[in-house]
Amino acid sequence: MQQLTPQDAVFLSMETPELPAHIGGLAFLEPTDGAEFSFDSFVEFIRARLGPCDRFSWQLQEVPFGLDRPYWVKREDFDPAEQIHQVAVPAPYSPEALSKLVGRIFERPLDRSRPLWEMVLIEGLPGGRYVLMWKMHHCMMDGASGASLSEQLFDLTPDAVRPAPIEVDDHATADERLGNRAIFERALRNAALLPINQSRYIGDALKGAMSSWQSKDDPDPKVEADRTASLAPSAPWNDVVGMHRGLAWSTVSLDDVKRIKNTLGTTVNDVVLAITSGAVRGYLDERGQLPEASLIASVPCSTRSADDASLGNQVREMPVPWATNVEDPIERLLEIHESAVVAKQNAKDGVAIDLIGIMSEALLPGALQLLMRGAAAVGDKMPLPANAVVSNVPMAPFPLYCAGARIVQVVPISLLAPTQGLNITVLSYCGELHFGVVHDPALVPDAWDLAGRIPKSLQDLQQAVDSQIDHDPDGTTD
């Protein structure tokens, strides 16, 4: 019998009707010349790919009163076609009309009495194109394993034929339902471990507090960046998050991002943070809502090894000062880079508090659910660990195909957390970075403006770098 891991289970416990905990995305499909693409052919394609993959036939057996983590059990006579739906975007087509339709579909929680995923094939796009939308509960996989799985589901050529079912590097299994006695016996055994986990995390918190106290007079800017990263000023979207979801998107060249990171000696993720910071800064400044202090980005980082393609979650989050209070694009990027180095080292040394670890291993699922519901209700009255999540997930650098149609664009869609009505997730695919700006429309009323500022922010950064190179042909930086 497969019980959910502590980290997988936390994404179930944190879910509320207003804050569903599934992730997903859009794949814009362009049927190849001469290929017959239809809803029926798509269903047969998914049935052939997911039917042999046991993980997608599992459903939950939850433990009464949240006394322990749920279990995966097999759904008998499962047909993947039951999880696939068909809709059409209203005419006349526009990205905004598609976005509104997607938001309405995505905001609905997944049915826990069924396997925790679904797909929607959206028709009505110009040129005979389609959009594939997928939703998968975060308890099934994180962003990295989801991107890896998509490469196994999709093809390298439009006419690919797979002689054998796909194989996912996942050793988990599911079985029949447990009886109540077995469930409560296991719950008692697992509950006995809670004091050990709680004392471990209390020790980590004391270690972090001691480190901060010892360095409070340290003039090192890296130390100062780490200390201020624990306090986030409020942004307009840091309030009670409602049930409605909006999505906006934009795309930039991955090569342009790499040229900047190579020139300035940073990372791709640093540049992603810098250009989203520039976009957020401009968006808030124009509306007279830009705080004097820097906003804080919560950056998920994978803890899985490079050769680990298993499903499930292996992730922790790092608070990184977003440098939204810095006007100069290059200075903003370099400051983010320094802060990210400190955050990574603190996570490695165990100085930073692992909030996901605390929630997953030191609290009963029922207690965590009550805590999350309380946090979701108080809005900006609680301390902010971060203002928004900014996540970067790699996908394939080459074209992929789905049921014979080429995937020409992808848009990642992620979840919102209590008091965080904004999430920016970027997915790299086929030489481009695709940004998905997920938001509560009541808290971010013009997200298309925010999304459109991301390419402009990259352009401003590139112009600043080019200007610096013109004045310094050797390419040196301070």
Active site residues: 138
Q: Evaluate whether 309 touches 243 at the Cβ level (below 8 Å).
A: no
Amino acid at 258: K
Q: How far apart are CA 311 and CA 79, in angstroms?
A: 21
Cβ within 8 Å of residue 468, ≥6 positions away? 330, 477
Q: Evaluate whether 134 touches 25 at the Cβ level (below 8 Å).
A: yes
**What is the SS3 string spanning 1-18?**
CEECCHHHHHHHHCCCCC
By DSSP bridging, strand 405-413 and strand 71-74 are unpaired
Strand order in the sheet with 432-439: 246-253, 432-439, 422-429, 388-394, 296-302, 315-321
Residues 405-408: contacts with CB within 8 Å, 24+ apart? 405/29, 405/30, 405/31, 405/32, 405/35, 405/37, 405/130, 405/158, 406/29, 406/30, 406/31, 406/32, 406/158, 407/27, 407/28, 407/29, 407/154, 408/28, 408/29, 408/30, 408/129
Length in residues, the chain: 478
Tokens of 366: 């029922």
Residue 403 phi/psi, 5-degree rounding, is 55, 35
